[in-house]
Amino acid sequence: MNLNQLVNMVTRIIMRRAINTGVNKGMDMAAGMGRKRAPDPPSGPRPQPRQVEPRSAQQAEAAPEQGGQKQGLTPQQKQAQKAARQARRAARLARRASKM
């Protein structure tokens, strides 16, 4: 083996480890495991869940349907989606770089 092949081999090993670490961290963030969770509330009597009444036919017709659109994402969910997109982008770029 010449020096060029050795350098490429070592570089690929290091890049593979770095990318795998980044992807794993991104997936942990997307799954919500990257942040510390709030302590469990003290056990005691829990409030009863609200009863949801079915909508009448008039209300259903008046309300426009949001076919497949994401509604009301929390900031944490948006941040998780952004982290997942970044992890996928990094993995895609790494695959392209390793092919060259």
**Higher model confidence: residue 23 or residue 54?**
23
Model pLDDT for residues 76-92, shown as the tens digit of each residue? 888 999 999 999 999 98
Residue 91 lies in a domain: yes
Read off the pTM. 0.33
Q: What's the total number of domains in the chain?
A: 1
Q: How many helices (H) and strands (E) does the chain have?
A: 3, 0
**DSSP annotation of 3:** H
For residue 23, the enclosing domain spans 1-33+79-100
Residue 4 lies in a domain: yes
Give per-residue burial for 7-44: e unless 16+ CB within 10 Å, then b: eeeeeeeeeeeebeeebeebbebbeeeeeeeeeeeeee
**Confidence at residue 16, expressed as pLDDT on a 0 to 100 scale:** 95
Mean pLDDT of all residues belonging to the chain: 79
Instruction: Kindly tell me if the per-residue pLDDT of 23 is higher than 60.
Output: yes
